């Protein structure tokens, strides 16, 4: 059975495979990254979570590269740099080969799942996560959001289905609601959308499902309950 993690990595690979050479040089919503840079990050992050030696080695390299900055900044820089020499076709092929290995490894880390991880939030706060949250949720959300970045940068359509994308969006909605704790009525439009609510008398919001997630991730501007950050 293909997991959401494997499906998302394969969809990202398919999206890259559909690009023209010129598309790989286009700027994404991530200020420091072109499409090529972002692809290097995604394949690097996918490889990081395929075996314990890769995981440990990449984390050490990322920590060294980060210096006084958050470790994730150093890790992503290392990922982009290490994949800079690969051809576009090689990046796609690596993602397709790594997808099942990544999904299997992430789902099998029973002894590591309770390991604490520090994460710097956009508002300056620091949250402590368990590794389980990272491997079960954040890594798939991250790849999905970069697929959104890819579609926006290249004007290529994004493949969206209720079964896969709708599930990821619904999970983000549940975390958003838990974090703000207020009554709400939310109408998300598009193939990944749906209707969600809690309590009575709260804010009513109608918005495209993908744009909703972009706002929560910090890529778009929101007001009211849409100012509540959700990690992606």
Q: Is residue 19 domain-shared with residue 130, that is, in the same domain? A: yes
Q: Is residue 33 domain-shared with residue 133, that is, in the same domain? A: yes
In-domain check, residue 232:
no
What would the mean pLDDT of 72-84 be, rounded to a whole number? 94
Q: What's the pLDDT score for residue 25?
A: 97
Q: Is residue 42 domain-shared with residue 147, that is, in the same domain? A: yes
Write the pLDDT tens digit of every residue in 17-39.
999 999 999 999 999 999 999 99
Q: Are 153 and 35 in contact (CB under 8 A)?
A: yes
In-domain check, residue 172:
yes
What would the mean pLDDT of 182-191 be, rounded to a whole number? 98
Q: Is residue 194 domain-shared with residue 125, that is, in the same domain? A: no
In-domain check, residue 69:
yes
Instruction: Give dist(CA 55, CA 47) in Å, integer.
Output: 8
Q: Is residue 150 domain-shared with residue 189, that is, in the same domain? A: no
Residue 111, pLDDT > 80, answer no
Sign, CA dihedral 210-98-5-11, equals positive
Q: Is residue 145 domain-shared with residue 204, that is, in the same domain? A: no
Q: What's the pLDDT score for residue 47?
A: 97
Q: What is the mean pLDDT of the chain?
A: 95
The predicted model scores a pTM of 0.94
Q: What's the pLDDT score for residue 1?
A: 56
Confidence band for 194, pLDDT divided at 50, 70 and 90: very high
Domain residue limits at 183:
162-227
Residue 45, pLDDT > 90, answer yes
Residue 2, pLDDT > 80, answer no
Instruction: Give dist(CA 4, CA 228) in Å, integer.
Output: 25
- ∠ CA 209-97-76, nearest 5°, is 60
Last residue of a domain, one of 121, 154, 187: 154
List Cβ neighbours of 193 (8 Å cut-off, separation of 6 or more): 166, 169, 187, 208, 209
Q: Is residue 111 domain-shared with residue 187, that is, in the same domain? A: no
In-domain check, residue 101:
yes
Q: What's the pLDDT score for residue 119?
A: 86
In-domain check, residue 105:
yes
In-domain check, residue 193:
yes
Q: Is residue 98 domain-shared with residue 57, that is, in the same domain? A: yes
Q: Is residue 141 domain-shared with residue 33, that is, in the same domain? A: yes
Confidence band for 98, pLDDT divided at 50, 70 and 90: very high
In-domain check, residue 207:
yes
- We report the CATH number of the domain holding residue 89 as 1.20.120.450
Count of domains forming the chain: 2
Q: Is residue 118 domain-shared with residue 181, that is, in the same domain? A: no
The first and second tokens of residue 135, run together, are 């491997």
Last residue of a domain, one of 154, 174, 191: 154
In-domain check, residue 72:
yes
Write the pLDDT tens digit of every residue in 128-154.
999 999 999 999 999 999 999 999 999
DSSP string spanning 48-90?
Answer: HTTSHHHHHHHHHHHHHHHTTS-HHHHHHHHHHHHTTTS-HHH
Q: Is residue 148 domain-shared with residue 186, that is, in the same domain? A: no
Write the pLDDT tens digit of every residue in 157-178.
999 999 999 999 999 999 999 9
Q: Is residue 8 domain-shared with residue 101, that is, in the same domain? A: yes
Last residue of a domain, one of 101, 121, 154: 154
């Amino acid at each position: 059975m293909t997991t959401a993690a494997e499906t998302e990595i394969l969809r990202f690979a398919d999206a890259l495979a559909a690009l023209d050479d010129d598309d790989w040089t286009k700027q994404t919503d991530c200020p420091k990254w072109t499409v090529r840079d972002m692809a290097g990050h995604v394949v690097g992050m996918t490889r990081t979570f395929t075996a314990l030696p890769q995981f440990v080695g990449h984390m050490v390299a990322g920590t060294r590269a980060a210096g006084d900055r958050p470790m994730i900044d150093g890790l992503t820089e290392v990922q982009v740099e290490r994949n800079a020499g690969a051809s576009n076709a090689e990046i796609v092929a690596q993602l397709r080969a790594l997808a099942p290995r990544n999904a299997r490894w992430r789902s099998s880390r029973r002894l590591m799942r309770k390991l604490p991880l520090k994460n710097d939030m956009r508002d300056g706060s620091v949250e402590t996560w368990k590794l389980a949250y990272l491997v079960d949720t954040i890594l798939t959300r991250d790849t999905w959001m970069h697929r959104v970045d890819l579609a926006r940068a290249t004007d290529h359509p994004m493949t969206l289905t209720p079964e896969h994308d709708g599930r990821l969006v619904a999970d983000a909605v549940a975390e958003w609601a838990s974090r703000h704790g207020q009554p709400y009525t939310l109408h998300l439009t598009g193939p990944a959308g749906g209707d969600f609510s809690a309590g009575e008398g709260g804010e009513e919001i109608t918005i495209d499902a993908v744009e909703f997630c972009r706002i929560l991730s910090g890529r778009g501007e929101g007001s009211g309950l849409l100012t509540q950050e959700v990690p992606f």
